[in-house]
Amino acid sequence: MRLFVALEVPAAVKQAAAEVMGRLKGAGGEVKWVRPEGMHLTLKFLGETDRSLVPELCRALEAACRGRGALSLKLAGCGAFPGVRSPRVVWLGLGGELEELAGLAAAVEEALVGLGFPPESRPFRPHLTLGRVRSGRRGRRGGGKPSAAPLGRAVAELARWRGPAFRAESVVLMQSTLTPAGAVYRPLHTTTLERRGTES
């Protein structure tokens, strides 16, 4: 089973992301855009995982989320990895309670290390993926494919774009099945983050 852990995002966020994708598609480029309905905020990618581990994963996620409240976040800016000059992955950034979000991601990471999942070597950079440039080739010195340049400029123009604020209230253990039409996601377990201002 191909698994990952993610925060669910509401419909308003997916709609805003769809509108940004619509603007970027006009820039051209060979991009595989995500389907807005499947959009999520990845906390930890697990990869191929034995089905027998699912119950332990669920318990670990419940423990990692215990005592943690729902997060107030907002969409803030558009960017690309590794950069707009040679975009490989196009994304929307986040603002709001980012310190609390990083703490949640770290708690999930720590809980899963105990089950044999190696810690992520790169720093946690929360984002919503919009699309991936299809070609795997790197360009010559200084840039990617020529067709990616207009896309990079379009992304740069949206660097200061701002989208809706939202509350992230649930952490989901998700199964991802790859198909020719794109990944199909199926939630296996949902952990609800506590409401602020309430006693558990």
Percent of the chain with pLDDT over 90: 79
Q: Tokens at residue 42, please?
A: 């990845």
What pLDDT does 137 receive? 46
Q: Which pLDDT value is given to residue 131?
A: 94
Return the SS3 of 60: helix
pLDDT at 138 over 60: no
- The number of beta carbons lying within 10 Å of the beta carbon of residue 30 is 13
Amino acid at 161: W
Q: Residue 183: which pLDDT band, with cuts at 50, 70 and 90? A: confident
Integer angstrom CA distances of residue 98 from 69, 76, 130, 152, 194: 13, 12, 20, 26, 17
Q: What does the pLDDT average to over 8-21?
A: 96
Q: Considering the chain, what percentage of its residues have pLDDT values greater than 70?
A: 90
| pLDDT tens per residue, range 54-95 | 999 999 999 999 999 999 999 999 999 999 999 999 999 999
**Tokens encoding 28:** 């051209």
Using the 8-state DSSP alphabet, how is residue 134 labeled?
S
Burial of 16 from C-beta contacts in 10 A (0-12 / 13-18 / 19+): buried
- The structural domains of the chain, with segments of one domain joined by +, span 2-136+145-192
- Does 197 score more than 80 pLDDT? no
Say if residue 145's pLDDT is above 60: no
Query: What is the pLDDT at residue 147?
Result: 59
pLDDT at 144 exceeding the cut of 50: no
Query: Any idea which residues carry the catalytic annotation?
Result: 40, 127
Sequence letter at residue 19: E
Is the pLDDT confidence value at 181 over 90? no
What pLDDT does residue 140 have? 43
For residue 110, pLDDT over 80 is answered with: yes
CATH superfamily to which 2-136+145-192 belongs: Cyclic phosphodiesterase (3.90.1140.10)
Residue 167 has pLDDT above 60, yes or no: yes
pTM of the model: 0.87
Label residue 179 by pLDDT band (50, 70, 90): confident
Please give the structure tokens belonging to residue 158: 């949206």
Q: Is it the case that residue 124 has pLDDT exceeding 70?
A: yes
